[in-house]
């Protein structure tokens, strides 16, 4: 799997996880309809399925995915919550993506 495809798959996976968690949050914290739990469950199923598409060992996939998740969560913060990430947020994203790259794309024997 190429690096670009891996990153796009991780980003799509992160969106599925965030939606799957955000919808129940809307229900519990914002008085949203309990019907939000149905698309939330479907989104979490998609999240699990998307993680299974990576050919690498599961533990390595989960570790590398975490860096992309942090990045996508901060994009969500900006686009959905309307809160612009700070320079510290962006620095943290850079560190996470560096770690993700080392885990996901390091040469293997």
Task: Enumerate residues 6+ apart whose C-beta is below 8 A from 52.
Answer: none
Give tens-digit pLDDT for 19-43: 999 999 999 999 999 999 999 999 9
- How many domains does the structure of the chain reveal? 1
- pLDDT category at 60 given cuts 50, 70, 90 is confident
Which range marks the domain in which residue 39 is found?
3-105
At residue 27, the pLDDT reads 96
């Amino acid at each position: 799997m190429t690096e670009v495809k891996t990153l796009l798959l991780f980003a799509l996976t992160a969106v599925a996880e965030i939606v799957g968690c955000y919808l129940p949050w809307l229900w519990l914290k914002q008085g949203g309809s309990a019907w939000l739990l149905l698309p939330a469950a479907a989104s979490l199923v998609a999240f699990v399925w998307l993680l299974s598409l990576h050919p690498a060992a599961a533990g390595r996939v989960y570790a590398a995915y975490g860096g992309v998740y942090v990045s996508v969560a901060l994009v969500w913060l900006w686009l959905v919550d309307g809160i612009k990430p700070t320079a510290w947020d962006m620095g943290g994203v850079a560190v996470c993506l560096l770690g993700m790259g080392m885990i996901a794309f390091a040469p293997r024997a």
